Amino acid sequence: MKINQAFAILSDAANPHVARIITEHNGAMSRFAVWRAARALRRGVPVAKIIHEKWFFGMPFYTNMHTLDPRPDTETVVESVLRDWGGAKDVRVLDLGTGTGCILISIVRNIAGAGGVGIDISRGARRVAQKNVKKFDLSPQIKISRGTFCHMRVSGEQFDIIVSNPPYIAHGDTRVNAGAMFDPKIALYAQNSGLAAYAQIAENARAVLKQSGRLYLEIGVGMSRAVRATMARMGWKFVRADKDLGGKIRVLVFSL
């Protein structure tokens, strides 16, 4: 099918801007591919899930149904880490619940000699992360493996930096946007009003963080006080809070 025909059909399913993104990304598309994309758009599927690509920290990451799409708010985690470690060398980074691997990859690419491990309980997410590691030629520096917030399975290694964008949406929260229905629920929702993952990290991350290291956690809007209290109960020291571009507290930094 010609690009102008595909553009017209996709514009009818969504809008010209979305249609342009899809056609420019895919180039010539078969009639079936256009029909499938149009059907997905009518169902509300995010564009990134259709073209399997989302830009993050200036890089195009592969994404699919097994991972959250990288979001601009999450770039605050990377910026927070680079604020502290941008001039360092050879640091080791652990990414808990790595998903696409976008946080870990962005950090490793911006710190000289850095490397690390990304863990995720989801086999599908680990495959996506590994695909991105290979895409950016970081296989020698980054390992993707199975692990959870409770069982990190890093073979006794300790890290300078631990980062995480854990699930933090409370079950039943009606503020979730429509696009989230196409994201894996395990990466979105958490028990205990969205605090369960933070409690698990608070309890288990101490053993794998160097004494001089720092822990960086993405949080949801309005969660700062509750997350800080959760971490304090396990003896973590609060360092600072960093805001996203919208002025919302998005990252909390802790030390041992």
Please list the helix, strand and coil fractions of the chain in percent, rounded to the nearest 5, in that order: 45, 25, 35
Which strand (E) or helix (H) includes residue 37? helix 31-42
Q: How confident is the model at residue 1 (pLDDT cuts 50, 70, 90)?
A: low
Which residue type, as a one-letter code, is found at position 28?
A
Task: Note whether 33 and 46 are within 8 A (CB).
Answer: no
Task: Note whether 191 and 200 are within 8 A (CB).
Answer: no
What are the chain's domains?
3-43 (no CATH), 72-255 (3.40.50.150)
Paired tokens of 4: 């102008």
pLDDT digits (tens, 9 = 90+) for 3-41: 777 778 888 888 888 888 988 888 778 888 888 899 999
Q: What is the pTM of this model?
A: 0.94
From CA 68, how far away is CA 251, in angstroms rounded? 18
Q: Would you state the pLDDT for residue 80?
A: 98
User: Out of 44-48, 216-220, 232-236, which region has the weakest mean confidence (pLDDT)?
Assistant: 44-48
Average pLDDT over residues 172-179: 77
From CA 99, how far away is CA 123, in angstroms rounded? 10
pLDDT digits (tens, 9 = 90+) for 50-65: 999 999 999 999 999 9
- Please report the beta strands in 53-171, taking only residues with DSSP state E, as ranges in sequence order: 54-56, 59-61, 92-96, 115-120, 142-146, 159-164, 169-170
Q: Would you state the pLDDT for residue 24?
A: 87
Q: Give how far the C-alpha of residue 35 lies from the chain's centroid of Cα atoms, to the nearest Å.
A: 30
pLDDT digits (tens, 9 = 90+) for 77-125: 999 999 999 999 999 999 999 999 999 999 999 999 999 999 999 999 9
From CA 81, how far away is CA 251, in angstroms rounded? 10
Computed over every residue of the chain, the mean pLDDT equals 94
Q: Would you state the pLDDT for residue 79?
A: 98
